[in-house]
Amino acid sequence: MGLTCSSCGTNLLEDDMLLLQKNCDYTIALAGNPNVGKSTIFNALTGMHQHTGNWPGKTVSNACGTCLHKNKNLLFVDIPGTYSLMSNSQEEEIARDYLCFGKPDTTVIILDATCIEKNLNLVFQTLEITNKVVVCVNLLDEARKKHIRIDLKKLSDFLGVPVVGTIARKKKTLQHLLSTIVKVASLPNTCQPNLVTYHPIIEDSLLMLESTLSKYLPKEYAHLSRWTALKLIDGEPSILHSIKKNFSLSFREEEIQNKLNEAKELLSDNDIDEQNFRDKIVSSIVLKAEDIHNHVVSYERCARFKP
């Protein structure tokens, strides 16, 4: 199934998105930092079978496209390029909300092979939301020019999700990516991601909230109890608004509020307040990314030029 060439460039309405999803086997979100080749991969996979418009109520553009792979119709949603899901911009808010509440069957996170340490920030934040993830290390040709070698198998072991290497401009390198996407989308619990472990006191505070939240979250979002606990403690207004809206969750529930107060009191007793809570979260992610980078990336020595 695909859109005709005459439909390209028309406005994508919410009803159109639902119709596309209904007629496709799986919906795939494409995520990544700006300038990692995400749009190039999207265009290579979907060709002329594309539809563009704006996110509902937003000025940020979106793009959807279809692709047939081994008798499976795939709908790709190219979400805005972003460095983070912490909602510091409209692009981050859209990306976060789609990954959390749009229910894609698989999320593909595209990394730049020449600077994967920086890109891993988005990977770890996404793994807090879903385990249906494929990491795509793109621009391997550029890494090769810079004598950078990446052990993709070892990277997969560290992350706990499949990792595929690609060169977006060479379509044949995308076939393995498509096969991996379908595998992850079609099988439940195919991935067991290795999440970042935060400061011990932060981990204790999350545990205090998780068991309570699991009683109130809709069944289809039960896997988000840890992420929801993290965001409740963080207290960022736009994230809380999205959680309330999509989960129909009232933070005024006495049990939730009591546990949240206990968690914040535990943090406060250990000198972790609203000002440094997020800093500690980000620091843990950065240190984890640095450690993985040191284990999976190596640099070849260049032969010296001889006149």
Question: 106-146 pLDDT, tens per residue?
Answer: 999 999 999 999 999 999 999 999 999 999 999 999 999 99
Of the candidates 240, 239, 249, which has an alpha carbon nearest to the alpha carbon of residue 217? 249
Q: Which residue has the higher pLDDT, 147 or 6?
A: 147
Instruction: Tell me which DSSP letter residue 206 carries.
Output: H
Percentage of the residues of the chain whose pLDDT score is greater than 70: 88
Cα within 13 Å of Cα(141), Cβ side: 7
Round the CA-based radius of gyration of the chain to a whole number and report it.
Answer: 20
Pairwise CA distance, residues 237 & 287, whole Å: 27
Q: Which residues contact 21 (CB under 8 A, 6 or more apart)?
A: 27, 75
Give 262-302 pLDDT, tens digit per residue.
999 999 999 999 889 999 999 999 999 999 999 999 998 76
pLDDT band at 205 (very low <50, low <70, confident <90, very high): very high
Tokens 């984890």, located at residue: 288
In 3-state terms, what secondary structure has residue 179?
Answer: helix
| Cβ atoms 91, 183 nearer than 8 A | no
What φ, ψ does residue 89 adopt, rounded to 5°?
-150, 170
Predicted pLDDT of residue 199: 96
